[in-house]
Structure formats: C-alpha cells, structure tokens
A and B are shown apart, each in its own frame.
Chain A
Amino acid sequence: MREKTILLVEDNPDDAHLTLEAFKAAGVRARFAVSTDGCAALKYLRDAEELPAFILLDLNLPMLSGHEILERIRADPGTKAVPVIILTSSIEAADLVRCYALGANSFVRKPVDFEQFLDTARLLGRYWLEVNVASPAGRA
C-alpha cells in the first residue's frame, strides 16, 4: 500500500521542520509536501496526480492568507472534499469561528511544548489517515 501524502502549508521554516519532526516522531507514516505560500499550495493541488490525504494549513501566511486559501480550496470542486486542518498560533475565537465557517475540518493550536505537539501529531495522523478514511465506494 502506497504512503499517503499530507500537504503542509507553512511559511516559517522552523515550524515546518518541527511539524515534520513531530509527525515523524509520532510515527505517522505519510509523505509530506510543503508549500510556503498559498499560490504554491494551490498550484500543487492543481498539478498533483493524487490529492493529499489532508492539508495542514497555517493562517498567518504571506500573500494569500490561510483563510483565503481555505476559501479557494472549498470553492474548487476538485479539492473541496479534501480535509483541511488549521494549524495556527492564534487562539482568537474570531479566527476559529471564521475557519469553521469557511469549511475547515479541524482547528488545532500549535503547542509551544514539543511533547504536546507530538501528541497532537499522533492524534491527527491516527484520525485523518486511519479512522476517517473515505470508503473505496465513496471515493469512486
């Protein structure tokens, strides 16, 4: 069985690195594609042979903000079914509400503590790669 792809949209290289490490240390077996801005991410989604299993989306991004990217993903019939998990430093209620309104599947606050981040990564991987997989029939 082929490894699934996870699209990470994150401009901060430290955060991107730590995220990859956290998922790796958590034992999540998946390929990671990383886009540092919205345009790249949307381009990837357009060109990729296979859609990612889910998208980890930062909110505070250059050029296109996370909200805008989410909006476009949901507006495109080809990508609108892809699960999007918001991964952000923000704890503002306004952000959370807005993201869910735009169709985010989950809203996760980036923990400062790496141990916690690890737990978070483990939970996300287990849920979106193993538990909540669309049935082959549904996929067709």
Chain B
Amino acid sequence: MRRRFAGLKLGTKLLLVITGTSVLALSLACAGFIVYEIAAFRARAGRDMDLRAAMLAAGGAPALAFSDEKDAMKTLALLRADPHAASAQFYAGDGSLFASFVREGAREVPPPRPASDGHVFSWERQTTASGVYLAGRRIGTVVLTRDLGEMRRSLAAVLSISFVLLLGSSLAALAIAARLQRVISEPILDLTRAAEAIAERGDYSSRVAARGGDELGVLVAAFNEMLAQIQRREAALRDSRQRLALLVESAPLGVIVWDLDFRVLEWNPAAERIFGYPPGEARGKEGTFILSGRVWTAQARAVWEDLLARRGGARFTNENVAKDGRSIICEWYNTPLVGAGNKVIAVASMVDDVTERKRAQDELRSLTDQLERRVAERTAELLALNKELETFCYSVSHDLRAPLRAINGFSSLLLANYSGRLEPEGKAYLARTAAAARRMSEIIDDLLDLSRVTRTAMKPVPVDLGALARDVAAQLQAREPERRVEVVIDECAPVLGDPNLLRLLLENLLSNAWKFTSRTAAPRVEVRARREAGRAVYSVRDNGAGFDPAYADKLFKPFTRLHTEAEFAGTGVGLATAARIIERHGGRIWAEGAVGRGAAFHFILPEP
C-alpha cells in the first residue's frame, strides 16, 4: 500500500492527501457526534426510567406489603399510557414474580429478571431494575423494560444525514485540492524536468525559471546555485584532470596503476622507457610480465598482499625484467588508492630504474669492505709492533743500562783507585768516558719517557696545574740549590688530564726554562694562565737564551737541538715528550721566542 502510494505522481499524492484529510476529519466529527448522541440518549433514558421505576415502586409498595396482586396490576397498568414502556414486573422480597405487565404486541414476554439493580441496554431495549422499599425496608423489586425503537430510528436519521454531509464535503475537498495542488506541484515538476534534462544531456548551463519567495522559490534558487557550482567544479575538475594527466605523462618516474587483480590500468611513457613496453601493450596485462622469471616471486606476492591489506609494502627494491629480457633493478614506491568506504580500489606505483646506481653502490661497498679489511690488518700489525716496541723498551732500560753502568762504574773506580798511576790526560779521558756513559743513560731515560707517554693508558682527572708547577719548581731548585731563579706561578683553574703525564709535561717545560736561563743575569721563570677566546691558555715563559723563531716548528721533534751541547746540555727529547703529552690530551702546544730574548711555550688543555 505504502509502496503503491510512493509510486504515484506528486499531484495525485497531494490530491489524495488533501481529500483524505478532509474526509477523515469529517468522519471523525460525525462519529463523535453519533457517539455523543447515543451517550446523551442513554443518560436521558436512564434518568427517565429511574423516575418511572421509582413511581412504580412507590405505588406498588403497599400492594407488595399486603400481597395484593390486583392492586399491583393496577399500578403496572398505568404504564399503558407510556408508548415506550414494553413491560414491567414486580418481584416479591423472596424473588418470586409477583405481578407482570406486558404491552400487547411486544416481541418478548416477560424479559428475564436482571441479577442486580440498574440499567441494561441492548440494541432492542433498555431494562431497568429498582428496589421497592417500605418504611426503609426492601420488600421487592420492580423491573421496567423499554423498547429502543425510537432511538434506533433517530440514530438512522443522524447516520444518513452524516453520510450525505460526508459525501458532499469530500467532493468539495477534491475539487479544491485539484486546483490547489498545482500551485505546489508545478514548481517541483519544473525542477524535475530540469534535473531530467541535465541528467540526459549533462548540460549544466540550463536554469529553472525563478518563482516566488516561499520555500519552493528558495529551492529553485538553491537548485540554480547548485548547478552553477557544479559547472564551476566540473571546469576545475577538468583542469585538474588535465594537469594530472600531463604530470603522469611527463613524470621522470614510471607511473603504473594496477587494479586489484594486479593488472595494468595506467602505464606512462617513463614506464615504457624503463621496461620497453608501450602503454597500449602493457595495459590489461598481469603484473608478472615485468617480474623476474615472469612469475610471482615470494617477495612480490608478499608486497602485493601487504599493499592490499594496507600493512606497508610502500617502498622496496626489486629485480625486474624489461621487454628485451634485460634484468634491471627497480626501486618501487607503492601506495594503495583508498576510495569511498575506506576500501582499496587500486594500487599506484612509481618506479625508477636504479640498475646503474645500484652497480655503483655495490662497487663502492666492495671497495669500502676492502679498505676496512686492510685497516684491520694494519691495526693488527701496529698492535704487534707496539707490543714489540714495549718489549724493546723494557730491554733497553735493562740491558743497555747495564754496560753503561759498567763503563761509568769501572771508569770511576779507575779514577778513584788508580789515579796515581795515570797521566792527567788519561784521567781526563776516563772522566769523559764516565760522563759519556752517564749522558747516554740520560738519553735512554728520556727516550723511555717519550715512549711511555705514547704507550701508557691515560686516566684523566681534574688536575691543579699551578700546584703541580710549584712542586716541580721546588724539585728543580732543590737539585741546584746554589742557583737563584725567580719563579712566578699563577693560580690555575683545574684541567682534565692524566696527573702523571701532566707532571712529566711540566718537568720537561720547567727544566727546559731552568736550563736556558742558566746564563742569564736575573733568571726568571713564569707559569701563566689566561683565558683566550673562551679557552684557558697556559704559558711557561723564561727570559733565557731563546731561539730563532724560524726553527719554532722543529722544536717539538725528538733529537732536534737549536743549541750546542756545550752551551746547554740536553737530550733533545724533552720538548718532543711535552708535545706528545699535549697531543694525547687532545690539546695544542706552540712556541714563541727570539734569540737572546727568552722563550715561551703556550698550551691548551681540555677543561673539566
């Protein structure tokens, strides 16, 4: 039913709705009227019958009291005057029928006695039962029956009038609705016709004639505006599609779109360049045609399933086959195209031929591997050499010193015990022999220092350089108590370093200064600390012999001497050791000086 209504034309629907509503309203009004009529009649009839029953009861009470049926019948016979009264009965206190009156021609004689007092309505009649009382005591019951023919007749009249009224007003409503519905349905039909025309021809330039300012007018205006928007959108879409097509056509990467069965939907010129298949040939093919061996590989399948399940597979490198059978390495960037309903509708791939790049990378990697291997070999060799050097140094300290000790010792013994038997010249030779041996042992010690600086493991802790310098200076002074050297040492902020090595550093630098001021009139040695460009710079300065700045860079090389042995004794290893210590701490050392005007050694150390 509802479906059949939905299929009707708009005008018919409106007609039906308006007419139907009118008929329904009138029907309800009539029904209400009739129901009211019946209820009112019943109320009226009830009151009427109550009155009659009361009258009969009053009249019949003495007759009942004295069992006088004749008198009772006389009372009942009064009903003859009432045309509606059909029958009336008195029942005695014990329930037995006492007296009965039935109108001549009544359909039924006498009706059964009701179980209780009150009114009972049927279509045919109304029955009323009421008590008969005497001096407050119930002595019987009166039952009165009334024929409802009159009510039925008046009801029939009301019904027929209602029907005529209903019919007339329905026809009137139909006539009015038929005229009015056009006012509403016409504009909608206009819209419908316009929409159909657009759907058939796709012509968004057509418009619907504007109407008045009611909702339909607004609807028409909105429809026209919608058409205008669609027109603009379509133009924008066309442009966008064109740009996209150009982008795909001219993209340097191969652009391929696959359907969900891994068949080619789109194939751009770059893809043709990479794989050798023109678009016309590639479209519709299953993707295995560019897979190596032209079959699904486990990797390709996994990537494809991941893409469809949107788990990943976005980027990977794969070996593919070109049309001419060449094996090529391709880098793939894939993305599932997700459409409405969050469903994958296709897969887009961008592909680049990276065969050459891959080859170059592989070469580079093999070279790197080779290099690393070589470095590892060299490192092992160096470690072995280092071990050897350590052993060598150990034996040097032991074994080289023993003969030197013998040379010096026996020379000294000769001088001490046999000086009487030697010429002065012989004594001098012996003294020089002993001195040479001593010097050589010093050189050995210095060399051992140098090598230890290189070999020993560093344990960096915060070190107070000032305190260390004062300690070293005190040692130097103690070694040559007769010398007067002015020593100035600044307070220094702590530096991070190995305390043993830093002591060796200061020993070397300060003993150097000590040595080169030995011929200066007012020798002065300073340890200075200052900040320069945010870093602490320490300087050990003297006013001694100085050096030619041209050789400043040679100072830190072992066995480099800028002065003769006769001028200043030394092994030429001390500054090299100092430089090596600074180097190991990751710091920097440089020298400054001029001949006869003293020297300064500046260095920077890491700070805590």
Contacts and interface: CB of A to CB of B under 8 A. Distances in A.
Direct contact between the two chains A and B in their complex (CB within 8 A): yes
Interface of A: 12, 14-15, 18, 21-22, 25, 60, 88-92, 110-115, 117
16 contacts: A14-B403, A15-B402, A15-B406, A89-B398, A89-B399, A89-B405, A90-B398, A91-B448, A112-B405, A112-B408, A113-B434, A113-B438, A113-B441, A114-B411, A114-B434, A115-B412
Contact of A18 (B394, B409, B441): B409
Given A18-B406, A92-B394, A114 B401 contact: no
A89 B404 CA distance: 11
- Main SS class of interface, B: helix
Given A112-B404, A112-B438, A14 B398 contact: no
B67 interface: no
B405 A15 contact: yes
B413 A112 contact: no
A60 B404 CA distance: 16
Contacts, number: 58
B437 interface: yes
Given A21-B413, A89-B401, A114-B412, 17 more contacts: A14-B403, A14-B410, A15-B402, A18-B405, A25-B416, A60-B398, A89-B397, A89-B398, A89-B399, A89-B402, A90-B394, A91-B397, A110-B405, A112-B405, A112-B408, A114-B411, A115-B412
A21 B397 contact: no
Contacts of A89: 397-399, 401-402, 405
Contacts of A18: 405-406, 409-410, 413
B328 to A, nearest CB: 63
A120 B405 CA distance: 14
The list of the 7 closest CB pairs from A to B, nearest first, reads A114-B412, A112-B441, A18-B409, A14-B406, A89-B398, A114-B409, A89-B401
Given A25-B416, A112-B441, A92 B397 contact: yes
A104 to B, nearest CB: 17
Contact of B409 (A14, A88, A90, A91): A14
B406 to A, nearest CB: 4
Contacts of A91: 397, 445, 448
A14 B434 contact: no
B545 to A, nearest CB: 26
A12 B402 contact: yes
A92 B445 CA distance: 11
Interface in B402-427: 402-406, 408-413, 416
A25 B416 CA distance: 10
Given A21-B413, A92-B394, A110 B406 contact: no
B374 to A, nearest CB: 34
Contacts of B402: 12, 14-15, 89
Nearest to A111: B405
Given A15-B406, A18-B406, A110 B401 contact: yes
Interface string B282-295: 00000000000000
Contacts of A111: 405
A23 B538 CA distance: 46
B129 to A, nearest CB: 136
A114 B413 contact: yes
Contacts of A113: 408, 434, 438, 441
Interface string B358-401: 00000000000000000000000000000000000010011101
